[in-house]
Amino acid sequence: MDAASAQNMNGGLHANFIKRFPSGPEIQINSLQTRVAAVVTVIFGPSGAGKTTVLRCLAGLERPQEGIITFNGRVWSDVSKGLFVPSRERKIGFVPQQFALFPHLSIERNIAYGLNGMNFEERRSRVDEMMKWLGLGGLEKRLPHELSGGQQQRVALGRAVAPKPELLLLDEPLGALDSPTRLRLRADLRQLLKDTSTPALLVTHDRTDALALGDDLVVLNAGKIAQQGQVTDVFREPANVAVAEIVAMETVQPGRVIESGELITVAIGKQILRALNRGLETEFKEVFVCIRAEDVILVKGDPVRGSARNCLTGIVRTVMLEGQMVSIDLDCGFPLKALLTKQACEELALRTGDHLQALVKAPHVHLIPRMPG
């Protein structure tokens, strides 16, 4: 065991476990770790990757069949020794996807539910503190069903945070909200999570949520951890094709390395692209070329010349609205996807069949070695 993981045994969460269901996939978590410095660790992956199961195992709501989970040096679950700490003793705050506020209890009694060890005055003042913090003043006596989705989310967060847990677990906290509310609350949630200064583990399948909320990212695919690290690192440098697809590197094209130096020259069919060399092993000639749709800049008019820029001439194939963004499929000799804001798209007056220039900076072209066979 190296020094870094030894340190992690004492601080933060450290999990190695297997969870099987009679039917369905096996969840196999290897060395899931949270950095002590990270406020929010996002577990990110497509639906069905096992994200919720991982969270439920950490919460003690599911028992793994094998492995060990420790938190801040305390063993939560050790199957080989028959150790299992039940949920109620883990000092966690859990915010489930549908919030699951107690429907028969008022908002203040929902928030006070976990404050059983306190006397009346302490409880009163903690609830008031929570209501103020969440901006829910005046709603104390309401029942959950009388609140909007966004308010319910805040109450769920307040109920989880009130007993001062040592770890917060949030399952798709924005998933049950409609899209305008979602947009508004995304920034709020990040701030609230920072306010608590409680480490949080947050599950999402939404890339924007992951980028907006996370410090660290754990990419989960088919029940296994595909990659973990700081959010920007994982997004900019996915470890393999599966991760690239999950973190939505919209363009993933097979290419051939022609020349390797500080910049790598790579060919996709007849098109030539230049990518920054991040230490690609020279024996790899076959690569996947990955470009995030956001990193593609579209320009109408004459080709632009630039030192480290790739300038590709392309034809617009489709223009598709995706929420606030517009997704554009280009044909540059290979299919290239671009993501623009609605406004930018209108200013360019993009139509299917238009000819234009697609600019991609060399550092934004990611090369992933292609597995032989």
Interface contacts to another protein, rule CB under 8 A: 59-61, 86-90, 92-94, 96, 98, 100, 102-104, 113-114, 116-117, 145, 159-160, 163
Report the nearest approach of another protein to the CB of residue 160 (Å).
Answer: 8
Q: CB neighbours of 290 closer than 8 A, spacing ≥ 6?
A: 238, 244, 249, 251, 252, 365, 366, 367, 368
- Taking the least distance from each CB to another protein, the nearer of 23 and 282 is 23
- Taking the least distance from each CB to another protein, the nearer of 65 and 318 is 65
Question: Any long-range contacts for 322-325 (C-beta under 8 Å, 24+ apart)?
Answer: 323/179, 324/183
Asked if 226 contacts 219 with a C-beta cutoff of 8 angstroms, the reply is yes
Report the nearest approach of another protein to the CB of residue 168 (Å).
Answer: 11
Report the nearest approach of another protein to the CB of residue 155 (Å).
Answer: 12
Helix (H, G, I), strand (E, B) or coil at 37: coil
- Taking the least distance from each CB to another protein, the nearer of 61 and 325 is 61
> What single-letter DSSP state applies at residue 364?
G
Report the nearest approach of another protein to the CB of residue 21 (Å).
Answer: 14
Q: Where are the alpha helices (DSSP H) in the chain?
A: 3-10, 51-59, 107-112, 120-133, 149-161, 179-196, 207-213, 231-236, 241-246, 342-348
- The per-residue b/e assignment along 21-60, b for 16 or more CB within 10 angstroms, e otherwise, is eeeeeebbbeebbbbeebbbbbbbbeeebbbbbbbbbbbb
- Taking the least distance from each CB to another protein, the nearer of 97 and 265 is 97
Report the nearest approach of another protein to the CB of residue 16 (Å).
Answer: 22
- Which residues share a beta bridge with 319? 328
Report the nearest approach of another protein to the CB of residue 147 (Å).
Answer: 15
Quote the CA–CA distance of 325 and 202 in Å, as a whole number: 24
Report the nearest approach of another protein to the CB of residue 90 (Å).
Answer: 8
- Taking the least distance from each CB to another protein, the nearer of 133 and 284 is 133
- Taking the least distance from each CB to another protein, the nearer of 199 and 238 is 199
Of how many residues is the chain composed? 373
- Taking the least distance from each CB to another protein, the nearer of 158 and 255 is 158
Name residue, tokens 């600019």.
Answer: 359
- Taking the least distance from each CB to another protein, the nearer of 18 and 61 is 61
| Residue 168: closest CA among 247, 271, 93, 259 | 93
Q: Tell me the one-letter amino acid at 342.
A: K
Report the nearest approach of another protein to the CB of residue 92 (Å).
Answer: 6
